[in-house]
């Protein structure tokens, strides 16, 4: 995060507001008020301030009775508030290994990275007694490292981990096989088959990990 971004976001409610909209885009003022425990008039002032700074935009969606409802969502400018942590270091390592050892070296490097992360996550699962417990713990661990990750269960959709941000997205775009490596990591940590796919909504792109429980 840049110094200018930190200075603009010095007011504490703004952090909570932006994080909420990163998790659940296109929220109405009343929904955000319920989420954050603030009155709509007080919250509206913060929304307008962030809109003036270029971090929020106002849109519409259909509400009850087919009536349109004003909603807030994050703009592209807000992406800088969720930096690609460690990406520059990894880019440098990848470039160095490619020059030194050839074109296959970067994927071997990332394979080792995912092996280490798998072992790290597995060590955190000692208290888990079910796949749901493991998924909840994994989502919490991933959330702490910038993935904006949540675990949810729905009778129709099943058990899922949804991530609104990938700190290493630029590296994933250059090496598509990393998606499969990440999926395998999830499967080994959770002990169940996992399907990884991306979804796009008006609020942006997010990654969904569908966890088989039967």
Taking only the tens place, the pLDDT of each residue in 39-60 is: 999 999 989 988 988 889 998 8
Range of the domain at 21: 3-81
Q: What is the mean pLDDT of the chain?
A: 86
Distances (CA, A) of 32 to 14, 17, 159: 12, 8, 25
pLDDT at 12: 64
CATH no. for residue 55? 1.10.10.10
Count of Cβ atoms closer than 10 Å to residue 190 Cβ: 26
| pLDDT, greater one: 182 or 100 | 182
| Neighbouring residues of 96: CB distance < 8 A, sequence distance ≥ 6 | none
Last residue of a domain, one of 58, 81, 104: 81
Per-residue tokens: 166: 């990938």
Instruction: Show which of 60, 81, 102 is a domain's final residue.
Output: 81
**Domain match, 105 and 73 both:** no
Domain identity same for 8 and 27 = yes
Structure tokens at 154: 């729905």
Higher pLDDT, 45 or 91: 45
Cβ neighbour number for residue 189 with a 10 Å cutoff: 23
Does residue 1 carry a pLDDT above 60? no
68-74/56-62 β-pairing: antiparallel
Whether residues 159 and 75 share a domain: the answer is: no
Q: Any bridge partners for residue 27, and if so which?
A: 72
- Kindly state whether residues 205 and 157 are assigned to the same domain: yes
Segment 57-85, tens digit of pLDDT: 998 887 776 788 899 998 888 876 776 65
**To the nearest whole percent, how much of the chain has pLDDT over 90?**
44
pLDDT in tens, 113-142: 899 999 999 999 999 999 999 999 999 999
Cβ distance 137 to 192 under 8 Å? no
Residues 61 and 93 in one domain: no
Count of CB atoms situated within 10 Å of the CB of 51: 14
Domain-ending residue, one of 34, 59, 81: 81
Instruction: Name the pLDDT band for 4 (thresholds 50, 70, 90).
Output: very low
| 94 and 155 assigned to the same domain | yes
The number of distinct structural domains making up the chain is 2
38 with 134, same domain? no
Same-domain pairing of 93 and 43: no
* Domain co-membership, 67 together with 93: no
Shared domain check, 32 and 55: yes
pLDDT score for 8: 52
- CA–CA distance, 23 with 149 (Å, rounded to integer): 8
Res 202: pLDDT: 62
Same domain? For 50 and 110 the reply is no
Q: Percent helix, strand and coil across the chain, each rounded to 5?
A: 55, 20, 25
pLDDT tens-digit series, residues 177-212? 999 999 999 999 999 999 999 987 666 789 999 999
């Amino acid at each position: 995060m840049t110094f200018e971004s930190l200075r603009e976001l010095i007011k504490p409610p703004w952090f909570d507001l932006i994080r909420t909209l990163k998790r659940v885009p296109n929220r109405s003022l009343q929904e955000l008020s319920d989420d954050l425990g603030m009155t709509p008039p007080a919250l509206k002032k913060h929304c307008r301030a962030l809109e003036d700074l270029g971090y929020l935009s106002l849109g519409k969606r259909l509400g009850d009775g087919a009536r349109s409802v004003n909603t807030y969502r994050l703009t592209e400018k807000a992406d800088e508030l969720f930096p690609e942590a460690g990406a520059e270091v990894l880019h440098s390592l990848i470039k160095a290994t490619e020059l030194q050892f050839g074109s296959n070296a970067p994927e071997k490097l990332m394979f080792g990275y995912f092996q280490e992360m798998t072992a790290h996550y597995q060590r955190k699962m000692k208290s888990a007694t079910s796949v749901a417990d493991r998924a909840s713990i994994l989502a919490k661990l991933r959330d702490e490292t910038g993935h904006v990750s949540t675990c949810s269960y729905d009778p129709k959709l099943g058990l899922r981990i949804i991530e609104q941000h990938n700190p290493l997205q630029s590296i994933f775009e250059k090496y598509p096989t990393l998606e499969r490596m990440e999926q395998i990591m999830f499967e080994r940590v959770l002990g169940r088959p996992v399907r990884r796919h991306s979804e796009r909504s008006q609020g942006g792109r997010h990654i969904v990990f569908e966890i088989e429980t039967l």
